[in-house]
């Protein structure tokens, strides 16, 4: 039902599609069998980017399985794994290099004001290294979580 609010007069109704039509664009994806909302489990592809890490299939409460648009690290080829790791390390290194200039400038400024060369070096290194290191740890964490999730699924299948 459309809202009669003045601010939302031109707003279109959300597009609803069955989950089997994924990755066709929609605002809401519903299960083909039971009509349950599966939108939060499906990840629409974004151009010029890799699919996110996550379960490749989601299973509805009625038992029907759908592709999610995500991939697990274990499902990637060796070439794609190397490529992703190379890009992650290259981006971290380039971020470190880019932030080394302002880090050195701020470190020299603080060193001049505090008259301490050691504090200047420490602050410069902290400014330069922290963002790149955080990005690297975050990405490696996502990869580790994907590997753990895949191995946990395999253990679960062996037990049952």
Beta strands in the chain (DSSP E): 16-18, 28-30, 57-59, 65-67
Q: What is the rounded CA–CA span in Å between residue 160 and residue 156? A: 6
CA 120 vs CA 39, 66, 98, 112, 124: distances in Å: 50, 55, 18, 8, 6
Question: From first to last of its 160 residues, what are the pLDDT tens digits of the chain?
Answer: 555 566 666 677 788 888 888 878 888 888 888 888 888 888 776 767 788 888 888 888 888 888 888 888 888 899 999 999 999 999 999 988 888 888 888 888 877 787 777 877 888 888 888 888 999 999 999 999 999 988 877 666 665 5
> Domain-by-domain residue ranges, the chain?
1-71, 74-159
Q: Is the four-CA dihedral 41, 42, 45, 46 of positive or negative sign?
A: negative
In 3-state terms, what secondary structure has residue 62?
A: coil
Q: What is the rounded CA–CA span in Å between residue 21 and residue 24? A: 6
Tokens 């939302």 belong to residue: 8
Asked if residues 60 and 33 have their Cβ atoms less than 8 Å apart, the reply is yes
Global pTM value: 0.69
Of 97, 104, 85, nearest to 147 (Cα)?
85
């Amino acid at each position: 039902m459309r809202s009669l609010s003045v601010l939302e007069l031109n707003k279109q109704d959300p597009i609803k599609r069955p989950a089997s039509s994924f990755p066709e664009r929609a605002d809401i994806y519903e299960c083909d069998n039971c009509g349950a909302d599966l939108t939060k489990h499906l990840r629409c592809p974004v151009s010029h980017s890799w699919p996110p890490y996550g379960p490749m299939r989601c299973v509805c409460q009625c038992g029907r399985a759908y592709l999610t648009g995500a991939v697990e690290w274990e499902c990637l080829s060796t070439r794609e794994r190397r490529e992703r790791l190379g890009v992650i390390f290259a981006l971290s290194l380039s971020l470190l290099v880019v932030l080394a200039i302002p880090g050195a400038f701020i470190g020299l400024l603080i060193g001049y004001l505090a008259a301490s060369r050691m504090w200047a070096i420490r602050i410069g290194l902290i400014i330069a290294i922290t963002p790149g290191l955080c990005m690297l740890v975050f990405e490696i964490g996502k990869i580790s979580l994907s590997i753990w999730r895949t191995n946990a699924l395999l253990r679960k299948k062996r037990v049952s």
